[in-house]
Structure 1
Amino acid sequence: MASGLEALLHRPRPSAWQLFLRQPCAYLARLLVSWHPVTPPQSAADAVSIVCISDTHNSQPHLPDGDVLVHAGDLTQSGTFEELEATLAWLRRQPHAVKIVVAGNHDLLLDAGQRGQRDEDERQHRALDWGGLVYLENEETTVTCPNGRRLRVYGSPLSPRHGNWAFQYARAHDAWAQQSPPIPAGVDILITHAPPHAHLDRQLGCVHLLRTLWRVRPRLHVFGHVHDGAGTEWVQFDALQAAYEQTVLDDGGLFNLLNLGRVLFHFLQAYFWSAPATTKCLLVNASMVGGLRDDEVRHPVQVIL
């Protein structure tokens, strides 16, 4: 039987009519934003291919080749030494020149708070074979791609608390603002296990992470955790995007017409008048497993950056 967290994260996808009845203003705001799609920026002359995965939960799907492989957490189902070793061995066998990994709430052995003072857990943690994998736990690194291009990457395993899992924080607590050192603005790739609120998250993402996304403004944000939110979405940090997100943050009900009016105003402004250039970011919820019992395995998301 699924835990409370599993039932919440993997509940059946509502229909469009159910979404409208639940949050009519948010539904209409999302529709307006979708009618004004973001034009992706041109690929750089030294573009690299990035394969994005998350929430593999012990599965070992076939992965396409690429320059960089990103895993956004939940490598395992139960976070045991045996599960982690099997997943790390699978990742080490992949052909990608650069492989970057963060943990997720299921990866219990990787969380010092979950290991506690148990000597056996510490011994097993030290025995994990990371090989050439780059493991990030609330830290930044710079990786060099095969073509010589250097990418700044920040990775974090954090997600809002639900149950007694790894790397979690109280939902009301802004864990992102208290990172030391702070998450640097302008990183090329931001990898978090949790999604930001209002984007590919089934309304389960983190409000504080959304604010951090606006401050950092990466070119690519890879996450997972909410399996049924899997997909991609281009965003740009402009007035239309801000108005839409505020509508969602305010619950998007019938009494949210003022926010919906702002969305409509900025939609018309963007549609009829050329807007100034803004930073654009590709959001990727790369959750690999899905379905009511995680019995579906999706294809990895491959992007050019």
Structure 2
Amino acid sequence: MADTIRLVIISDTHGFHEIVVPPGDVLIHGGDGCKTGTLDEARQWGAFLDAQPHAHKIAIAGNHDRCFEADLDAARAQLPSKLEFLHDSGCELDGVRYWGAPWQPWFLSWAFNLPRGPELGQKWALIPDNTDVLVTHGPPHGILDRTYAGEPVGCEELRAAVARVRPRVHVFGHIHEGYGVASRDGTMFVNASTCTLSYRPTNAAIVVDLPRDRARPAELVSGG
């Protein structure tokens, strides 16, 4: 058994299913696989994920994935049965504990909006303390969350939850112009938005090696 697990991380693909995805052990999609969130778009997103060769695949919904908010069961049925679709839920794969959730501070009239404050805090309170890899659609406040105007729009309650949980890797997207990687207090933060601000799918997938030894930090391989 290898002493590291290779994570291949993408997000905000918005229906661009011709992108090149590097090989690895676990493919993680941080939401917004759809453009407007129809069931047909969800089916196409599912076909894209199903075609990838990774042994394990994880995905969450994002604000463009409206059908997942309107009818979660019907939308989930469009995705591969072997996909780990996380929705305020977690899974364990090869000893690594993952948790995923789609929520973000209120943003126009898109899906999975909640007001800043206690309602978002209640969602993040569900994250177990032993989470290794946290997958949320939106970023925490102050980390890879600045818009083109320079405004930090991430979630304050999520930032507090990350400080409590201290995941080894925190994956998100949503703010396309925040694409990149940052490390703080033992957590590697990955904004893996595939699409740019102008919705061009030109940002590379971010590849991270996660050592099985929890005393060792995650290592950036490529992207970001």
| TM-score (norm. length: structure 2) | 0.85
CA distance in 1, matches of 2:76, 2:143: 36
1:230 aligns with 2:179: yes
Q: Which runs of 5+ in 2 are unaligned?
A: 147-151, 211-224
CA distance in 2, matches of 1:93, 1:296: 18
1:100 corresponds to: 58
1:156 corresponds to: 101
Identity among equivalent positions (%) equals 39
1:290 aligns with 2:196: yes
Maintained 8 Å contact 1:92/1:131: no
Structure 2 counterparts to residues 99-248 of structure 1, below 5 A: 99-111=57-69, 114-115=70-71, 124-125=74-75, 127-144=77-94, 150-176=95-121, 178-179=122-123, 182-202=126-146, 203-236=152-185
Structure 1 residue 127, shift from structure 2 partner: 4.2
Structure 1 residue 234, shift from structure 2 partner: 0.8
Provide Cα deviations, 1:232-266, integer angstroms capped at 9, x if missing partner: 00111xxxxxxxxxxxxxxxxxxxxxxxxxxxxxx
CA distance in 1, matches of 2:208, 2:79: 28
Q: Which has the higher contact order (CA 8 A, sep 6+)?
A: 1
Structure 1 residue 125, shift from structure 2 partner: 3.1
Give the aligned length: 203
Structure 1 residue 173, shift from structure 2 partner: 3.6
1:71 aligns with 2:71: no
SS of alignment partner, residue 198 of structure 1: coil
Structure 1 residue 181, shift from structure 2 partner: 7.3
Maintained 8 Å contact 1:174/1:208: no
Structure 1 residue 62, shift from structure 2 partner: 0.7
CA distance in 1, matches of 2:113, 2:63: 7
Higher helix share: 1
**CA 1:196 to 1:107, structure 2 compared with 1: closer, same or farther past 3 Å?**
same
Structure 2 counterparts to residues 264-279 of structure 1, below 5 A: none
1:90 corresponds to: 48
CA distance in 2, matches of 1:287, 1:126: 22
CA distance in 1, matches of 2:8, 2:114: 28
CA distance in 1, matches of 2:191, 2:79: 27
Aligned Cα root-mean-square deviation (Å)? 1.8
